[in-house]
Amino acid sequence: MTTDPRFDGPGPDQTWRDALAAGRLEIQHCTACDAAQFPPSLVCRTCGAPAPSMVAASGKGIVYSTTTVRRRDGAHNVSVIELAEGPRIMSRVTDLSGVVRIGAEVTAKAEMGDSGPVLVFVPEGSE
Amino acid sequence: MSDPMRGSTAIVGTGITNRWDAPGRTAFDQLQEAAILALEDAGLTTKDVDGLFCALSVSGLPVLNVAEKLGLELRHADGTMAGGSSFIFHMRSAMAALNAGLCDVALICYGSNQRSAGGKLAAMPDPQPYEAPYGALYPISSYALAAARHMHEHGTTREQLAEIAVAARQWAKLNPAAMMRDELTRDDVLGSRMVSDPLTKADCCLVTDGGGALVMVRADRAKDHAAPVPLLGVGTAVSHRQIASMPDFTTTAAVQSGAEAYRMAGLGPADIDHVMVYDAFTICTLMFLEDLGFCAKGEGGAFCASGAIAPGGSLPVNTNGGGLSCNHPGMYGIFTVIEAAEQLRGRCGARQVPGAEVALAHANGGVLSSQATAILGTPATL
């Protein structure tokens, strides 16, 4: 044995993508200090323990900040969502009313994009 | 007891090409010209350089390319790449290397041709898979997200941000080398095209060509040069790479880099006569002034809109016109240091801050990701 089994299997980015492709939002949980983290990594950024585990996220969050990107071919939303578990994630809020507010409650959803599944968020209650 | 690093090194030469729109020149041409100017300013030549510190957005091997082009015989080199703040990271590294005897003459240099090469911020290979699907404009959307959060938490307004662009322009009008010197009003900024809410085109820095360079030596050798500018303190910090991972969108790691620079210098915000902060976007000026202690958190908007940072105000900020109105060749940080040094040398003409003894230069890299702060003084401050 020349490799460390704690790091066997696909890396955390691949594992995260595979989960999303199956329609699941995963984040990491550190069994040593109970911290939640995203994006995934080989180490817990809170306590330094190696190999935090991948766990299912609740998918619930609130809009931490938001911007409208205005291109010549149209405008679209970019938001940073603070997940109920704590970590933040960049995403898009697909809000039917057109106004995305900081503090709004949102829920994760996997949407099919041009090059695979994309994580987006929809307003609470509209999924 | 004062920190032994305080004043242990000095800037003895600065070089700036002032060629902000210069087709036919490569990034390395701009860098080389600035390096030659800085060495001449120090009374030295390329043959005296034995320590090289550089970063470029067009090359992953800057040290090798620059050493070859300038014909340097190096004992020490550092190509740390932390974005636009790299050059203050280099200053801290050069301070350590000079004091350790790893080199005697440190050349810190940068060049870019991003304007004439296409007019966009030069993209470095640094994929961000968790951001890429969402079509955020890099880097403006990241700064827009920080600005939107600052507005939400502190009531900061677009009008206050606009006043920052106007103040920069007022300074630029006093600088014959500034690229943008025509009239700019608050309404011009507010009426400018919205790019990524709440930031308009006029909230954004320029896209220019340009080159800048610094020469640093130990204090014992600084006496042999015409106009040494002692480095009193320098601090660096890194908080994240992508904006979603920034710990608090309204507070940057300038809090940490500033605290280290102030500690080393034995000084505080009240001791600073002249301030340069990297204004990639209007929100940057506001947040860095808060985080470096020139006003309280949340009061940056009112402070900047009060006229305090404009010519005639209580705190001269970005006196060259900044990245907003003077120049912005991609990684602007080195120009904050050059202007600070030139102010302390009394060479700034109509925009000279009278009697400036201590100056602070602060630079940012990535998307509020890396922060670096240098405090410079006149020889009398030692």
pLDDT digits (tens, 9 = 90+) for A72-97: 999 999 999 999 999 999 999 997 67
pLDDT in tens, B167-211: 999 999 999 999 999 999 999 999 999 999 999 999 999 999 999
Q: May I ask the CATH class of domain A60-123?
A: mainly beta
Chain A residues touching B248 at Cβ < 8 A? none
Chain B residues touching A86 at Cβ < 8 A? none
In chain A, which stretches have pLDDT less than 70? 96, 127
Backbone angles phi, psi at B142, to 5 degrees: -65, -45
Task: Judge: A80–B243 Cβ closer than 8 Å, yes or no.
Answer: yes
Cα–Cα separations (whole angstroms), residue B92 to B99, B100, B133: 11, 12, 37
Res B81: pLDDT: 97
Report the residue of chain B nearest A114, measured CA to CA: B133
Interstrand relation of A60-71 and A105-113 (parallel, antiparallel or unpaired) = antiparallel
Residues B315, B294 contacting (CB under 8 angstroms): yes
Nearest neighbour of A91 by CB, restricted to B134, B144, B198: B134
Chain B residues touching A70 at Cβ < 8 A? 193-197
Res B212: pLDDT: 98
With a cut of 0.90, is the ipTM above it?
Answer: yes
Report the residue of chain B nearest A113, measured CA to CA: B133
Task: Judge: B196–A65 Cβ closer than 8 Å, yes or no.
Answer: no
Res B102: pLDDT: 98
Task: Judge: A69–B149 Cβ closer than 8 Å, yes or no.
Answer: no
Residue A6, helix vs strand vs coil: helix
* Domain limits, CATH 2.40.50.840, in chain A: 60-123
Res A127: pLDDT: 55
In chain B, which stretches have pLDDT less than 70? 1, 120-123
- The whole-angstrom separation of Cα B251 and Cα B297 is 8
Torsion of CA B268, B358, B304, B259, to 10 degrees: -30
Nearest neighbour of B244 by CB, restricted to A67, A71, A90: A90
| Structural domains present in chain B | 9-119+206-381 (3.40.47.10)
B242 CA: distance to closest CA in chain A (Å): 9
B195 interfaces chain A, CB cutoff of 8 Å = yes
Res B79: pLDDT: 98
